[in-house]
C-alpha cells in the first residue's frame, strides 16, 4: 500500500475516522457538530448508546462529543454517530465537562497514535491523566489539577517541534519537580 | 319439404379467431406485433455511437481516504495511571483486537496427554459407555459371562420369544 503523507492543519472529513466535535446547535432531531471541516456534521440524537425516542441523550450546546463519521464525501453533509456498527458506545459519546481541548496539526495526531509512540508512553509515566485524540486535530486532556492538565497540553503541542532527546530532558525536569 | 340440416364441415377462418370472446386484453400475438413495431419506430430515431465496443479496464487502484488502516493507528481514547478505569479496560479491549489477528498464526499447543494414553483411555471408555445403552437382559448376560469362565457359553443369539403352544 502506498499513501501520501502530508503536513496539514485543515481536516477533511473521512468516513470511519474518530473525531472530537463541539455541539453548536440543536435542530429538532439532530445536533449540529463543528468538526473543524468545511461543513458542520450532523449527529442524530438516536446515535448514542441506549438512546430511544423517549430516552434522549443529555446533550447541550457546547458539549464535546467523540464519535466517528458514517457519511463523509464531498457531495454531502458529513454525518457522525457515537456508536459503532453493533450499537455499542465503545468509549464514544459525550466527553465530560472538565478538561482542556486544544488543537494540533494532523500529522502530530498520527504520530501520537502510531503503535509504538514513545511520547504518549513517557507522558503516561508522569501523572495519571486521561486523553482523547481526534483525527481532526483536536486533543482533549484531563488530569487531576489544572496545572498538570496544562503541562500535558503544552508538552503535546511542543513535541511536534522537539527532538526526542529534548523531549526526554523536558520530561525528566518535570518528573523531578 | 324435408327439414334436413346439411352441415358443411365448418371451416374456421382467421377472422373468426379474432372474435373477442371473453377477452379483456390484447392477444399475446398482437401484443408482440405491437411491441416490435414500437421498437422499430424508436430505433430509427435513436442516436447511437458508431464506435467499436470499448471494454472498461479493470483498475487495480483502490482509493482509501482514511489514514487509519495505513498506519495501524491505535484507539484514540486513552487513560493512564488509573485515571479512568473504564477507559483503561477499553484500551486493552480495542488494542487487543488488532493483536488477535497476529495471534491466529500461532503454533498449536503441545498436548498434555500423549496419543498412546488417549488410545488406552478410549478403549475402556467405549466399553463403559456402551454398557449404559444395553438392555437389562443383555446386561445380565454380560455379568454372568464375566463371572463364570468355565461354564458353557449360552448361545447369545437366541432371543427369548413367545413359543406357541403345540396343540
- Structural domain boundaries in chain A: 17-94, 100-176
d(CA A42, CA A26): 10
Look up the pTM and report it.
Answer: 0.63
Helix axes A164-176, A118-126, angle to 10 degrees: 10
- Does the beta carbon of A62 lie under 8 angstroms from any beta carbon of chain B? no
What is the CATH T-level fold of the domain A17-94, as seen in this structure? OB fold (Dihydrolipoamide Acetyltransferase, E2P) (2.40.50)
B30 pLDDT band (50/70/90 cuts)?
Answer: confident
Tens of pLDDT, residue by residue over A62-92, are: 999 999 999 998 899 999 999 988 888 888 9
- Does the beta carbon of A171 lie under 8 angstroms from any beta carbon of chain B? no
Structural domain boundaries, residue B79 = 67-106
Contacts of A124 in chain B (CB under 8 A): 78, 80-81
B24, part of any domain: no
Contact A110/B81, CB-based, under 8 Å?
no
Predicted ipTM beyond 0.90: no
Tens of pLDDT, residue by residue over B86-107, are: 888 888 888 777 666 555 545 4
Continuous segment of H or E residues that includes residue A129: strand A129-133
Contacts of A114 in chain B (CB under 8 A): 71-74
B32, part of any domain: no
B138, part of any domain: no
Higher pLDDT pick, B27 / A35: A35
Total count of domains within chain B: 1
- Does the beta carbon of B76 lie under 8 angstroms from any beta carbon of chain A? yes
Residue contacts between A and B (CB atoms, under 8 Å): 83
A100-176 — its CATH code? 3.30.1370.10
A119 touches A84 (CB < 8 A): no
Residue in this structure with the C-alpha cell 493507528, named with its chain if needed: B73
Which residues 91-130 in chain B show a CB within 8 A of chain A?
Answer: 94
Higher pLDDT pick, B161 / A19: A19
Residue B154 confidence (pLDDT) above 80: no
B117, part of any domain: no
The Cα of B85 is separated from the nearest Cα of chain A by a number of Å equal to 10
List of residues 6+ apart from A58 with CB closer than 8 A? A94
d(CA A149, CA B80): 13
B95 touches A121 (CB < 8 A): no
Residue A51 confidence (pLDDT) above 80: yes
Per-residue DSSP letter, B77 = E
B123, part of any domain: no
Q: What are phi and psi of B56, to 5 degrees?
A: -75, 125
* Percent of chain A residues topping a pLDDT of 70: 100
**How many Cα atoms occupy the beta-carbon half-sphere of A92 within 13 Å?**
29
**How many other C-beta atoms are found inside a 10 Å radius of the C-beta of residue B94?**
16
Amino acid at each position: 500500500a502506498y499513501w501520501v503523507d502530508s503536513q496539514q492543519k485543515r481536516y477533511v472529513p473521512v468516513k470511519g475516522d474518530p473525531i472530537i466535535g463541539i455541539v453548536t446547535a440543536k435542530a429538532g432531531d439532530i445536533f449540529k457538530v463543528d468538526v473543524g471541516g468545511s461543513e458542520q456534521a450532523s449527529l442524530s440524537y438516536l446515535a448514542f448508546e441506549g438512546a430511544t425516542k423517549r430516552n434522549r441523550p443529555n446533550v447541550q450546546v457546547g458539549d464535546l462529543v467523540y464519535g466517528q463519521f458514517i457519511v463523509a464525501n464531498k457531495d454531502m453533509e458529513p454525518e457522525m454517530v457515537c456508536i459503532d456498527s453493533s450499537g455499542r458506545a465503545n468509549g464514544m459519546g459525550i466527553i465530560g465537562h472538565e478538561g482542556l481541548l486544544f488543537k494540533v496539526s494532523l500529522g502530530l495526531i498520527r504520530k501520537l497514535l502510531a503503535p509504538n509512540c514513545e511520547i504518549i508512553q513517557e507522558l503516561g509515566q508522569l501523572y495519571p491523566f486521561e486523553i482523547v485524540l481526534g483525527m481532526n486535530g483536536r486533543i482533549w486532556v484531563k488530569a487531576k489539577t489544572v496545572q498538570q492538565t496544562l503541562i500535558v497540553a503544552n508538552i503535546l503541542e511542543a513535541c511536534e517541534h522537539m527532538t526526542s532527546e529534548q523531549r526526554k530532558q523536558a520530561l525528566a525536569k518535570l518528573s523531578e519537580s | 319439404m324435408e327439414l334436413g340440416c346439411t352441415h358443411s364441415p365448418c371451416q374456421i377462418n382467421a377472422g373468426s379467431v379474432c372474435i373477442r370472446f371473453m377477452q379483456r386484453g390484447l392477444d399475446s400475438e398482437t401484443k408482440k406485433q405491437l411491441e416490435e413495431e414500437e421498437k422499430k419506430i424508436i430505433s430509427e430515431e435513436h442516436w447511437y455511437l458508431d464506435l467499436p465496443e470499448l471494454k472498461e479496464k479493470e483498475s487495480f487502484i483502490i482509493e482509501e481516504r482514511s489514514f487509519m488502516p495505513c498506519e495501524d493507528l491505535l484507539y484514540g481514547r486513552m487513560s493512564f495511571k488509573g485515571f479512568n478505569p473504564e477507559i483503561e479496560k477499553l484500551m486493552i479491549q480495542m488494542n487487543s483486537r488488532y493483536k488477535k489477528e497476529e495471534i491466529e498464526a500461532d503454533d498449536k499447543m503441545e498436548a498434555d496427554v500423549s496419543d498412546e494414553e488417549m488410545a488406552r483411555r478410549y478403549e475402556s471408555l467405549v466399553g463403559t459407555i456402551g454398557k449404559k445403552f444395553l438392555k437389562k437382559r443383555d446386561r445380565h448376560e454380560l455379568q454372568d459371562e464375566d463371572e463364570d469362565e468355565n461354564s458353557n457359553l449360552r448361545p447369545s443369539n437366541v432371543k427369548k420369544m413367545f413359543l406357541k403352544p403345540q396343540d
